[in-house]
Amino acid sequence: MSGNEQKYINEAFETNWIAPLGPHVDLFEKEIARFLGVNDAVAVSSGTAAIHLALSLLDVKKGDKVFCSTLTFVASANPILYQGAEPIFIDSDPESWNMSPQALEKAFKNALLEGKMPKAVIVVNLYGQSAKMDEIVSLCNQYDVPIIEDAAESLGTTYKSKPSGSFGKYGIFSFNGNKIITTSGGGMLVSNDVEAIHRARFLAAQAKDPAPYYQHSKLGYNYRLSNILAGVGRAQLEILEERVRKRREIFETYYEELGNIPGLFFMKELENTRSNRWLTVLTLDERLSGIPVTVLMKILEEENIEARLVWKPLHLQPLFEGAKYYPHEADSISEQLFNTGICLPSGSNMSEKSQDRVIDCIKKSLNL
């Protein structure tokens, strides 16, 4: 917490705005939209809810197909199943680790041959790193398919000076407890289409018709963010740049201390972009380092240091067994990253002492 959250929480209590509407909600939406340079935003209960609303607004339904990044958390794709649609997974690009434009183009060409284009493309900006948005936007425009930009992990990231989450028809953000700023739980759907955001706000509030009684003509959801949590979000947004600076400093320290070790390769930052470095992530080449990533994980765990493997690709998940998958090339980049990747402790409140302990443990494990 920044220390300023209590001020906004007290305002909510003093004015009795406790429900999922109120001044903090309105202002949080306006402040996020202004920060991103988009026309409007709607605050919701989670990033997952925001994706679900985006798919609903695009009229994704049973029998439809949606292209989705495979190297991501399951929440990016679950809403596709909520709508009864079919997810089709797209491999990672080796430079960005995000959706491969090369694999996406293959998927589009095949869809054209089959006569069934996707209703949407969900592009994920993984670990704070932007996807290659120029190439992806160009392809989606060519085939006239809207983009849902899952920027849950990349608030504060820029791609060619433009904020992450502002490229697609819809942008998605998460304010879960582990994100770069948090409302404890919450999310945001953003768009330049003001009318669409107006409809999203309607759907998120149980789709109540404008009548003098409770009347419902459309299926709605209980997805609105509370005024109290929106107040927390406003205080957090005030120190977003400080959080990005701290995460980038943590990355730089790791890179300076470990970047020259044979077999360790840090997630790159695309040219003309600025990653928020939400997590510091690297891959371990066992042939050069001498140990596999699973052994390094175990050594860190024995020292009470929590690290995690890179996301298990969704096309390998039992939930999505049988789903179509388009690899970058003959080899699957996302599977390589999963088999060799590790996420290091990267919290904004991480002390130098704690980070030194992680670095020392890694060096010792590699006999350095």
Nearest one of 252, 96, 244, 273 to 156, comparing CA atoms: 244
Cα dist from 186 to 48, 122, 223, 241, 363, whole Å: 9, 19, 9, 20, 38
Sequence letter at residue 273: T
Both structure tokens of 309: 């493997």
Task: Specify which residues 230 forms β-bridges with.
Answer: none
- Residues annotated as catalytic are 179
Give yes or no for a contact between 175 and 156, defined as CB atoms under 8 angstroms apart.
no
Tell me the three state secondary structure of residue 190: strand
Residues 6+ positions from 250 with CB-CB distance below 8 Å: 277, 280, 346, 350, 355
Q: Where are the beta strands (DSSP E) in 14-104?
A: 40-44, 65-69, 86-90
Q: Starting from the edge strand earliest in sequence, which strands make up the sheet with 158-159, in order?
A: 162-163, 158-159, 273-274
* Alpha-carbon span 137 to 147, nearest angstrom: 8
E strand residue ranges, 251-330: 264-266, 273-274, 280-284, 308-309, 325-326
Answer left, alpha or beta for residue 265, where phi above 0 means left and psi between -120 and 50 means alpha.
beta
Amino acid at position 39, single letter: N
Buried (b) or exposed (e) across 205-217, using 16+ Cβ within 10 A?
Answer: beeeeeeeeeeee
Structure tokens at 167: 């490229």
Q: What would the two tokens of residue 365 be?
A: 């494990």
